[in-house]
Amino acid sequence: MLNIWGRANSINVQKVLWCCDELGLEYERIDAGGPFGRTRDPDYLAMNPNALVPTISDDGFILWESNAIVRYLCSKHGAGSLYPEDLRERANADRWMDWQLGTISNALRPVFIGLVRTPPEDRDEAAIEAARQSTAAAWEILEAHMEGRDYALGDDFTMADIPLGVSIYRWLRLPVERPPIPNLEAYHERLSERPAFRERVMLPLT
């Protein structure tokens, strides 16, 4: 039995839900985080001492960190499809997943929190603008990489597209000035053709 703890509007939970749907996995999702609380309950902290979502239990195997969860599920259920079997292909996928978490996510988060979760009167406009500029600059790297490619690794959809896809969706939905990124917009259009992306990721920003 696969259990997933996390609220459905969390970007990191959305990665896991989208991944499960792509793999055709059945699971039970338990609301946690944000208004649902639970993450500081002793039994939750025993699973995930970060008090963050998502966390999964796969027949009792506990795992947290969204990209690690996506890798684990793809490795278990998607070898040769979402989980590249070729070592270098897989390293490329890992690279883009780490880049999403280490670079894009850190840059994008203050823009999202500032504009979506902070009332206008409490916003630090200078900090939001600085983060917007950092995010726009970081996206240029993927924009250049996507020239001539349908997905992050080339022709086929893989696990690398999941973290990238959730972040691109947010960036394109935020009410901010964006330099032109035609390759990323085309990539987003391609992802939008996937039912699981539409259902799990393309939600109003809250």
Ligand X SMILES: N[C@@H](CCC(=O)N[C@@H](CS)C(=O)NCC(=O)O)C(=O)O
* Residue 116 sits in the site that holds ligand X (CB under 6 A): no
Minimum distance, C-beta of residue 65 to ligand X, in the bound complex (Å): 5
* Residue 52 sits in the site that holds ligand X (CB under 6 A): yes
* Residue 31 sits in the site that holds ligand X (CB under 6 A): no
Which of 117/149 has CB closer to ligand X? 117
State the Rg of the chain over Cα.
17
Strands 2-5 vs 55-58: parallel, antiparallel or unpaired: antiparallel
d(CA 72, CA 177): 36
Which residue among 10, 103, 135, 167 contacts ligand X (CB under 6 A)? 10
Stretch that binds ligand X, among 65-73, 76-84, 113-121, 132-140 (CB under 6 A): 65-73
* Residue 65 sits in the site that holds ligand X (CB under 6 A): yes
For 6-162, where are the E strands, in sequence order? 28-30, 55-58, 61-64
Q: How far is CA 113 from CA 47, 81, 137, 174, 181, in A?
A: 26, 34, 19, 11, 23
The answer to whether 13 and 53 have CB atoms below 8 angstroms apart is yes
Q: How far is CA 201 from CA 5, 144, 167, 171, 194, in A?
A: 17, 24, 10, 12, 10
Which of 54/114 has CB closer to ligand X? 54
* Residue 11 sits in the site that holds ligand X (CB under 6 A): yes
Stretch that binds ligand X, among 32-40, 89-97, 186-194, 198-206 (CB under 6 A): 32-40
Stretch that binds ligand X, among 62-70, 121-129, 138-146, 188-196 (CB under 6 A): 62-70
* Residue 66 sits in the site that holds ligand X (CB under 6 A): yes
Binding site for ligand X (CB under 6 A): 10-12, 33-34, 39, 52-54, 65-67
